[in-house]
Amino acid sequence: MYERKILPFYMTYPLPLYYQEEDTILKDLEYLQQMYPADARKYQKKIAEILDKLDYEGSMIYDEFPDRWQLYKLSSDILDRIRREEEKNESKEQAPPEKWQWAGDLIQILLFYEIYKRRHDSHRGILRF
């Protein structure tokens, strides 16, 4: 028959173990992001700075279904800001238009990923990967 066993204290409250797993996931994610190419790391830092300003209660990045046009406009604005900064720093050389085509796609992907991370951040709820 079924025997009732007494559970050890650490097993009665398993949540701390869950948060240890979450910390491991975040450390792993940060380590892998350090291996991004130089341009991607630079773009990611700029995206994180801009999203810090949009990170408030009721922001469009926390809508249940964010508007596609607003996200596209945001990524376009980020691309324009990065382009202006790079042209200001490298006034002698002008980057070919192909660079800005793939950079726009990369910025859009990094932006969506950063929004995903913020929407599922442990400070706002449970982190789900």
Q: What is the pLDDT along the chain (129 residues), one digit of tens a residue?
A: 556 777 666 666 555 555 566 677 778 888 888 899 998 999 999 999 999 998 888 888 888 898 999 999 999 999 999 999 888 887 666 767 777 888 999 999 999 999 988 887 755 544 443
User: For residue 5, is it within any domain?
Assistant: no
User: For residue 26, is it within any domain?
Assistant: no
Return the SS3 of 64.
coil
User: For residue 50, is it within any domain?
Assistant: yes
The pLDDT score that the predictor gives to residue 86 is 86
User: For residue 69, is it within any domain?
Assistant: yes
User: For residue 59, is it within any domain?
Assistant: yes
Q: What DSSP assignment string belongs to 108-122?
A: HHHHHHHHHHHHT-T
Burial class (CB in 10 A: 0-12, 13-18, 19+), 33: middle
Q: How many domains does the chain have?
A: 1
pTM, whole model, 2 decimals?
0.71
User: For residue 99, is it within any domain?
Assistant: yes
CA-nearest of 106, 107, 127, 109 to 118 is: 127
Domain that holds residue 64: 35-119
